[in-house]
Amino acid sequence: MFDIDIQSRIPIYEQIYNKVIELIIKGILVENAQLPSVRNLSKELNVNPNTVAKAYQELERSKIIYSLSGRGSFVSEIDREKMKERILEDFDICVRETLQFGLTKDELKNRIDGVSL
């Protein structure tokens, strides 16, 4: 569920951050659902607790989750559209970078069809 890629150039804490967003958007983590505890998730991922804590703190700063001392961390009120918007803004950057190389928007659109998960 929280699989991460140690090889990736994307920092672990950022992968966790993104994973939580992904799970929320997909409806797997619903409003007020409790996230795995820092210590449990760190064991599950074979990662230092500080790393998970950092991800959770960033998520809280973004108001995506809220953490209660002694209780745990939970999913905030969800505005799916706002979350999607945030993802799409990252996508914009990628598109912009690609266009910069001189490719056309049509080439990009056609390309999307061929992409498979």
Q: Does 7 bind DNA (CB under 7 A)?
A: no
Q: Which of DNA, a copy of itself, none has residue 75 at its interface (CB below 5 to 8 Å by kind)?
A: none
Closest distance to a copy of itself from the beta carbon of 106 (Å): 9
82 contacts which partner out of DNA, a copy of itself, none, CB within 5 to 8 A by kind?
none
- Alpha carbon distance 29, 48 (integer Å): 23
Taking contact as CB under 8 A, which single stretch among the options 31-39, 41-49, 62-70, 104-112 is the one that binds a copy of itself? 104-112
What residues numbered 40-69 form the site for DNA, per CB under 7 A?
Answer: 40, 46-51, 53-54, 56-57, 60, 67-69
Provide CB contacts within 8 A for 113, sequence distance 6+: none
First to last CA, the chain: 16
Provide Rg for the chain, Cα atoms: 17
Question: Considering the rule CB under 8 A, would residue 96 count as an interface residue with a copy of itself?
Answer: yes
